[in-house]
Amino acid sequence: MIFNALTIQDVRGAWWLYAIGAFVTIFIICGSLFFAYKAYKQSKELGMEKENIKKAVISSVSFSILPSIGIFIGVITMSGLLGIALPWIRLSVLGALHYELLAVDQAVGDVTAATMTVENFVTIAFTMTIAIVWGSLFTLFFFKKYQSKVVDKATKKEGRSFGPLLFQSVFIGLISAYFGEAFSRMAVSSDNAEYTKTFVPLVVFVVSFLSMMGFEYLVKKKNIKWLENFQLSLSMLIGMASAVLIGLGGIY
């Protein structure tokens, strides 16, 4: 009944959503400053040289800010559908663009900004939140025991490092899932009202993949180290630019 009294514009731009976003952001910034102070104090107690401290600070700031370009792009990308506040809350702490977009797609399918209802918005927000909270809860209550009994044994078994292979396998599986989803959009039947047949996701995937390969080549083979922190953000920008160019060319 409450939903009937609200419009989607009321919910997407609600002041309390912005208040939650501001609270979360301030909380994270305060936590970061607290641990930065503790780290600086510890470095003094250990007698670290000022030059090493300066390098650590510059490296940490660069590592934090530069990858955030991709997150900012994600907020802008999702704002057309969900407004500013919800993507801001989701992507500022735990969220990742690829996960959030997948959650939106799984929650409401082919809903657009023009057809979205308050019920759709609530479903999306619930799906995005409930599906990712378990990782944090697991880490908080069980990770220490899990690490000592499973991870350490898996990564140190018989003197071999199994950890990198495990991570690479999971990552390849994740990429394969997104590639399969993009490829499936090419095979949507004409009578499927839930999804629209399109080549754009596959083209964007391939363009972004090739861009990442190119940047990796420049970093590893040409020793252009400054590109290392920009690879993901630039690949995302190039992929998004390719989608815009494809749309301008009349291809869908």
Q: How far apart are CA 215 and CA 238, in angstroms?
A: 12
Distance in angstroms between the alpha carbons of the first and the last residue of the chain: 39
Query: The tokens of 51 are what?
Result: 């030059």
Q: How far apart are CA 46 and CA 187, in angstroms?
A: 61
In this prediction, residue 103 carries a pLDDT of 76
124: in domain: yes
146: in domain: no
Same domain, 113 and 222: no
| Continuous H helices in the chain | 8-12, 15-45, 50-65, 68-82, 85-92, 97-108, 118-130, 133-146, 152-156, 163-184, 200-220, 231-248
Contact 215, 223 (CB under 8 A): no
Same domain, 43 and 117: yes
Residues in CB range of 14: below 8 A, 6 or more apart: 85
38: in domain: yes
In this prediction, residue 189 carries a pLDDT of 62
Same domain, 121 and 169: no
0.75 exceeded by pTM? no
In this prediction, residue 1 carries a pLDDT of 45
In this prediction, residue 196 carries a pLDDT of 67
Residues in CB range of 133: below 8 A, 6 or more apart: 94
Contact 92, 21 (CB under 8 A): yes
The domain of 14 spans: 7-131
- If one counts the domains in the chain, the total is 2
Domain end marker among 87, 113, 131: 131
Same domain, 25 and 94: yes
Quick one: 69 exposed, middle or buried, by C-beta within 10 A (0-12, 13-18, 19+)? Answer: middle
Residue type, 204: V
Domain end marker among 115, 131, 147: 131
**pLDDT tens track of the chain, all 252 residues?**
444 567 888 888 889 999 998 998 899 889 989 998 998 888 888 888 888 888 778 777 766 776 677 778 778 878 888 888 888 888 877 766 667 777 777 777 677 777 888 888 888 888 888 877 887 888 888 877 777 666 556 555 555 566 677 777 877 887 787 777 777 777 666 666 556 677 888 888 889 889 999 999 998 898 887 787 678 778 878 887 888 888 776 666
Same domain, 88 and 175: no
Same domain, 125 and 180: no
